[in-house]
Amino acid sequence: MHTASSVLVTGCAGFIGSHLTEQLLQRGYRVIGIDNFDPFYDRTLKEENLSNVLGHGQFHFIEADIQGLDWQSQVVGPVDSVIHIAAKAGVRSSIEAPAAYVQTNIVGTNNLLAWMQGQGVGKLVFASSSSVYGNNPKVPFSENDAVEQPISPYAFTKRAGELLTYNYHHLYQMSVVNLRFFTVFGERQRPDLAINKFVRMIAADQPVTMYGTGDTSRDYTYVGDIVTGILAAHDYVAAHPNTYEIINLGNSSPVSLQTLVDTLYDLMGKTPNIEYLPKQPGDVERTFADVAKATRLLQYQPTVSLREGLRRFIAWHEAKSL
């Protein structure tokens, strides 16, 4: 690839987006990053996420919300491809405020796609989610499974995004890879997510609150593996004009909530202290990625185990707390 290649990254200040932006810059791309510092969590955390790239000569930052159109006039120079990570996140809060999720995740995504079509930008990687599978009875979850029964507004807005990208692929020959992420964790993880919350509780010697009996399971995937998968998908759309794919990115080894918490206590050298609370609505029983397609098309091979990824997260958290 030549250094002139420009990538527009939405959600560049978030957990996954900031790691991705750093990797793109390291690979020699010019990156135009958009983020609105959504107040879902503290702005200073996102500013910290961007601290490694803000002074980079090949990085151009636009503070804007994709729900509006004002960002479009701020995009400088040609754009070769788009990686769309920006979204309102969180299953539980989507149940409390579904309209905001429709606005950002559906209207915002359509604004972006319409802008791409108008500018003749024909390559897109879209961040979808394993939540589209709902309580799928069949495991592992395969891209061919029916996903017509979302159990949260967040899930249905992510499925809507996949359908929107298909529409633009069909009408305008846009090359699209939709990536369904499975429970991403690692350094910079959002503070509302379980691992980040649990580590803070354990560090403060507070009891860990666990919803349900601990038997729900998640296919925890380390952020570095996810970013490697996104970069491979970005290479794939560049090499395959007029393609449309939906691809799982997971670790393909689900772990129960109880095991996760036990592992954290073990790594942090503390005695388990767990408070069990009733299950939350909208939470799926389990996630489990079939990654055969990702391996076939993207040579995707997750390399970081849950234990190693948790060790890295705890080290990051401790360094930040000093």
- Domain edges within the chain: 6-186+221-250+289-303
Q: How many CA atoms lie within 13 A of 191 on its CB side?
A: 12
3-class DSSP assignment, residue 53: coil
Confidence (pTM): 0.96
* CATH, range 6-186+221-250+289-303: 3.40.50.720
Task: Please report which helix (H) or strand (E) contains residue 98, including its range.
Answer: helix 98-101
Catalytic residue among 154, 222, 236, 300: 154
Mean pLDDT of the region 172-183: 98
For residue 199, which of 278, 267, 258 has the smallest C-alpha distance? 267
Mean pLDDT of the region 295-310: 97
Mean pLDDT of the region 93-98: 95
DSSP string across 194-212: HHHHHHHHHHTTPPEEEES
Rounded to whole angstroms, the Cα distance separating 13 from 6 reads 18
Has residue 167 got a pLDDT over 60?
A: yes
The full length of the chain comes to: 322
Write down the pLDDT at residue 4.
60
Write down the pLDDT at residue 150.
93
% of the chain with per-residue pLDDT over 70? 99
Mean pLDDT of the region 179-186: 97
pLDDT digits 0-9 by tens, 222-261: 999 999 999 999 999 999 999 999 999 999 999 999 999 9
Amino acid identity, position 231? L
Mean pLDDT of the region 142-160: 96
User: Which of 39-43, 140-144, 279-283, 300-304 comes out lowest in average pLDDT?
Assistant: 279-283
Q: Which two tokens stand for residue 294?
A: 């990702």
Rounded to whole angstroms, the Cα distance separating 205 from 312 reads 20
Rounded to whole angstroms, the Cα distance separating 248 from 75 reads 30
pLDDT digits 0-9 by tens, 52-82: 999 999 999 999 999 999 999 999 899 999 9
Mean pLDDT across the chain, nearest whole number?
95
Asked if residues 243 and 294 have their Cβ atoms less than 8 Å apart, the reply is no
Catalytic site includes residue 133: no
DSSP β-ladder status, 175-181 and 274-277: unpaired
pLDDT category at 145 given cuts 50, 70, 90 is very high
Residue with tokens 């990156």: 31
- The number of helices, as runs of H, and strands, as runs of E, in the chain is 11, 13
Rg (CA), the chain: 19
User: Hey, which residues does 81 pair with through a beta bridge?
Assistant: 7
